[in-house]
Amino acid sequence: MAEKVIRVDDIDGSEGADVAKRDFEVLGRTFTIDLSDDNFKRLNEMLDALAPFIENAAEVKPARKGRKSGAAKIKGYTNGDVRAWALRSNIEVSERGKISDEVYAAFIKAHPDAKPDA
């Protein structure tokens, strides 16, 4: 028993002996697609046309979602210092997480040597 494999061009749906699995690279990533000789030629022409734009462009990297540092918004004191002062001063402050701008403002007012980060 014999099997016949028919390759179909992924762009125009054509079938033919010239349709083959074609690999191509864009920005360091390799892709594969079934294309006829004509469509593979078109693909290479497009990649050649894009090359000068890619070579002269700067990559924009997505913003990173990293952990925020535990550094205080003021120099010379830590967030732990601000929290301890707030608790001693009967000012509501969370044990963890963001410290409100109002708490920072009150701390700076009570500590003239505290300098806000620029």
pLDDT in tens, 26-41: 888 999 999 999 999 9
pLDDT in tens, 50-109: 999 999 998 888 887 765 555 557 778 888 889 999 999 999 888 888 888 889 888 888
82 burial (CB, 10 Å; 0-12 / 13-18 / 19+) is: buried
Quote the pLDDT of residue 53.
94
Report how far residue 110's alpha carbon sits from residue 16's, in angstroms, rounded to the nearest whole number. 82
Query: How far does the chain reach from its first CA to its final CA, in angstroms?
Result: 78
pTM: 0.50
Q: Which residues contact 83 (CB under 8 A, 6 or more apart)?
A: 93, 95, 99
Domains of the chain listed by start with CATH number: 1-58 (3.30.60.230), 79-114 (4.10.320)
Q: What is the pLDDT of residue 27?
A: 86
